[in-house]
Amino acid sequence: MASRAELSCEGQRELMFQVISPSYGEDVDVENDSH
More confident residue, 9 or 29: 9
pLDDT of residue 14: 73
Is residue 24 pLDDT above 60, yes or no? no
pLDDT averaged over every residue in the chain: 62
pLDDT of residue 17: 65
The model's pTM is 0.26
CA gap 23, 3 in Å, rounded: 30
- Mind spelling out the 3-state secondary structure of the chain? CCCHHHHHHHHHHHHHHHHHHHHHHHHHHHHHHHC
Contacts of 2 (CB under 8 A, 6+ apart): 10
What's the chain's length in residues?
A: 35
pLDDT of residue 22: 59
